[in-house]
Amino acid sequence: MSPPDRESFPSPRIGTAQTLNRMAEKRADKDWVKGRLNDAKTRFLLLVDLSLAVDSARDKSGTKLRWYTAEQIEALGVDLNDTFLLGCNENEDDVTIFAVSLSSAEAANVPGGAESLKPLVDLRSLAMQGDLSPEDLSLAGVARALAAWHAIAKCCGRCGGKTRSKDAGWRRRCWACGQEFYPRADPAVIVLITDGERCLLGHHKRYAHKFYSTLAGFVEPGEDIEACVRREMREETGVEIGDVTYLASQPWPFPHLLMVGCWAEALTTDLSLEEEELYDARWFTREEIRQMLTETHPEGFTVPGSHSIAYALIKSFVELE
Ligand SMILES: [Zn+2]
Q: Verify that 42 and 138 share a domain, yes or no.
A: yes
SS3 label, residue 150: helix
Residue 10: what pLDDT?
77
In a domain, 15, yes or no: no
Q: Verify that 148 and 228 share a domain, yes or no.
A: no
Q: Verify that 90 and 201 share a domain, yes or no.
A: no
* Ligand 1 centroid, distance to 173 Cα (angstroms): 8
181 sits in the region (left: phi over 0; alpha: psi -120 to 50; else beta) called beta
Which pLDDT band, with edges at 50, 70 and 90, does 8 fall under?
confident
* Ligand 1 centroid, distance to 176 Cα (angstroms): 5
Render pLDDT for 61-100 as a digit per residue (tens, 0 to 9).
889 999 999 999 999 999 999 999 999 987 777 899 999 9
How does the average pLDDT of the chain come out, rounded?
Answer: 93
- The answer to whether 145 and 138 are in contact (CB under 8 A) is no
Q: Verify that 139 and 228 share a domain, yes or no.
A: no
Q: Verify that 129 and 246 share a domain, yes or no.
A: no
* Ligand 1 centroid, distance to 278 Cα (angstroms): 39
Residue burial 183-214, b: 16+ Cβ < 10 Å; e: rest: bebebbbbbbbbeeebbbbbbbeebeeebbbb
Cβ within 8 Å of residue 34, ≥6 positions away: none
* Ligand 1 centroid, distance to 154 Cα (angstroms): 11
What does the alpha-carbon distance between residue 261 and residue 248 come to, in Å, rounded to a whole number?
Answer: 5
* Ligand 1 centroid, distance to 177 Cα (angstroms): 4
In a domain, 4, yes or no: no
In a domain, 18, yes or no: no
What is residue 155's DSSP assignment? Answer: B
In a domain, 11, yes or no: no
* Ligand 1 centroid, distance to 180 Cα (angstroms): 8
Q: Which domain holds residue 54?
A: 24-152
- The answer to whether 174 and 159 are in contact (CB under 8 A) is yes
In a domain, 260, yes or no: yes
In a domain, 224, yes or no: yes
Give the domain CATH number at 96.
3.90.79
* Ligand 1 centroid, distance to 78 Cα (angstroms): 26
In the listed set 134, 152, 170, which residue is the last one of a domain according to the structure? 152
Give the domain CATH number at 221.
3.90.79.10
Residue 18: what pLDDT?
75
Q: Verify that 130 and 191 share a domain, yes or no.
A: no
Residue 17: what pLDDT?
73
Smallest CA-to-CA distance from 123 within 295, 257, 278, 301 is with 257
Residue 4: what pLDDT?
84
Residue 268: what pLDDT?
97
Half-sphere exposure of 302 (CA within 13 A, CB side): 10
Q: Give 17 or 290, the one with higher predicted confidence.
A: 290
Q: pTM, whole model, 2 decimals?
A: 0.90
- Give the DSSP letter string of 69-122: -HHHHHHTT--GGGSEEEEEETTTTTEEEEEEEE-HHHHHTSTT-GGGG--EE-
Q: Give 175 or 57, the one with higher predicted confidence.
A: 175
- The pLDDT of 266-278, averaged and rounded, is 91
Alpha-carbon distances of 104 from 118, 260, 269, rounded to whole Å: 12, 32, 48
- The pLDDT of 284-301, averaged and rounded, is 95
Q: Verify that 206 and 298 share a domain, yes or no.
A: yes
Residue 61: what pLDDT?
83
What does the alpha-carbon distance between residue 201 and residue 295 come to, in Å, rounded to a whole number?
Answer: 16
Residue burial 95-119, b: 16+ Cβ < 10 Å; e: rest: bbbbbbbbeeebbeebeeebeebee
In the listed set 152, 174, 195, which residue is the last one of a domain according to the structure? 152
Residue 208: what pLDDT?
82
In a domain, 174, yes or no: no
Render pLDDT for 200-256 as a digit per residue (tens, 0 to 9).
999 998 888 899 999 999 999 999 999 999 999 999 999 999 999 999 999 999 999
* Ligand 1 centroid, distance to 86 Cα (angstroms): 26
* Ligand 1 centroid, distance to 87 Cα (angstroms): 29
Residue 59: what pLDDT?
82
What percentage of residues in the chain have a pLDDT greater than 70?
100
Alpha-carbon distances of 69 from 37, 66, 101, 115, 119, rounded to whole Å: 9, 10, 15, 19, 18
* Ligand 1 centroid, distance to 67 Cα (angstroms): 35
Q: Verify that 244 and 198 share a domain, yes or no.
A: yes
Residue 9: what pLDDT?
77
Q: Verify that 141 and 248 share a domain, yes or no.
A: no
Q: Verify that 31 and 133 share a domain, yes or no.
A: yes
Q: Verify that 33 and 106 share a domain, yes or no.
A: yes
What does the alpha-carbon distance between residue 247 and residue 188 come to, in Å, rounded to a whole number?
Answer: 14
The residues with which 89 forms a beta bridge, in sequence order, are 95
* Ligand 1 centroid, distance to 85 Cα (angstroms): 24
Q: Verify that 120 and 203 share a domain, yes or no.
A: no
In the listed set 152, 176, 203, which residue is the last one of a domain according to the structure? 152
In a domain, 272, yes or no: yes
Radius of gyration of the chain (CA): 22
Residue 287: what pLDDT?
96
Residue 123: what pLDDT?
94
* Ligand 1 centroid, distance to 137 Cα (angstroms): 35
Domain count, the chain: 2
- The pLDDT of 269-281, averaged and rounded, is 90
